[in-house]
Amino acid sequence: MNKTPGPRSEGGSAPATRHGLLGKLFRAFMRWTLPVAVLLIQLDLVGRATRARRRSGAVTGARWDATNEASNTRPAVAQAAPATGQGFLGELWDAVAPGRTFVLVIAVLLIELGFVFSYVGAFHHPTPHEVPIALVAPAQISGRLVGELNALHGHPLHATPVRTITGGRKLLRHGSTSGVLIVNPVGKTDALLVAGGGGAATATTVEDVIAQVEAAQHRSATITDAVPAQPGDARSLSGFYLVIGWLVGGYLVAAMLSIATRARPATTRRAIIRLTVLVPYAILSGLGGAIVVGPVLGALTGHLLAIAALGALIVYCAATVTMAFQVFLGTIGVGLTLILFVILGNPSAGGAYQAPLLPGFWRAISPALPNGAGVEALRRIVYFGSYNITGNLLILSAYIVVAATVALIGTALLPRRTNAGTPTEPDGSAETVKPGLAQTEAVV
């Protein structure tokens, strides 16, 4: 089978050779080291918050003791001293089992196993499923050929007839199909057009399947990459890692703000202020990412403002979703954020393997999660003229609207505690309670 390079394939091997090792190291770091580092940072933040609450509770208890000393009274119930002489296993259980320590350890174990299961489950056996392809053939044989392609074992392709080559190229340039097969009615050599910019794995899969079909009929096909990846965008993966970086920045800044203040803002007004503060951060993050992958690295050149705007939307999406989780669930919300964006979102985002090559579960959730919607939108901006990008933007916007609404409602309705340990009503007024209660929220 002959292979003809696309119109922009000249000089493509030099960047791949020059940056090959660096690119492999960067991809390995982003795929494995970075998620683990983020998890460790999140756990450290949770630990800091827990220790801060314990210290504030200890201070309140000391004030209670001082008050009773002055009035010659003693607390009715004294905390028992740690047991001694119970052996190593007994002391170990006494140190780990109480409170939330044991629960947190189990939660981390489950997140770890979920991480392994999701990534290996999504990537260990990529299989094409109804990859869209357009067929250009004479009318008298077009229907039969379409039926044969759609009847292939496992349904790797979903073929649709197109009348003209121009129409097929247009579909390919718009990202509406992954390949165009042009049948030669008078010879034994057909032509196949692919779009490497939409994902190298998908393009290679289309080439392999069509090669097998052609070989079975003693025919061949010349291959042209009509929408190739940019020279600095090896295997069209730069956009995937850029979206991951934006998402990490979004949920980390929300987590940092919750630790620096409190997970649940003190009033609805403070919640609005926090949501507002996240806007300039998202804009700067989106612009910074676009500059890094564009002018700095030359991975995704052109479309600087469009990429920056998309980045701001993705960052703000991740930040608001994280804030909503934490308003309702506190530190448990951190775990849910990791599950959504890291465990479920990254494997299904269409990075190394695009959605048609993933198993059913990951293929189904790919377009519905911010990761998948963000990666697809970015590829369409860079390679497909922003065609049919509205759906992806609506998904990201829907997450923002729902998350911001949930955060505001949760702040308004759920009870809080002041620095003195006094629960407050949604309007900010305090209830009268006994002193010495552990603090769980600060006025922010």
pLDDT of residue 264: 86
Least-confidence region, from 40-49, 283-292, 300-309 = 40-49
pLDDT of residue 331: 77
| Residues counted in the chain | 444
pLDDT of residue 101: 72
pLDDT of residue 38: 58
* Concatenated DSSP letters of 161-220: EES-HHHHHHHHHTTS-SEEEE--TTSSEEEEEE-GGG-HHHHHHHHHHHHHHHHHTT-E
Which domains can be identified in the chain, with CATH numbers? Answer: 24-46+234-424 (no CATH), 131-225 (3.40.50)
Q: What is the pTM of this model?
A: 0.76
pLDDT of residue 92: 64
pLDDT tens profile 141-153: 999 999 999 999 9
pLDDT at 310 > cutoff 90: yes
pLDDT of residue 100: 62
- CA 79 vs CA 76, 85, 219: distances in Å: 10, 18, 85
Mean pLDDT of 306-312: 98
Of the candidates 421, 424, 425, 427, the one whose C-alpha atom is nearest the C-alpha of residue 440 is 421
pLDDT of residue 325: 94
pLDDT at 70 > cutoff 60: no
Would you place residue 441 in the very low, low, confident or very high pLDDT band (cuts 50, 70, 90)? very low
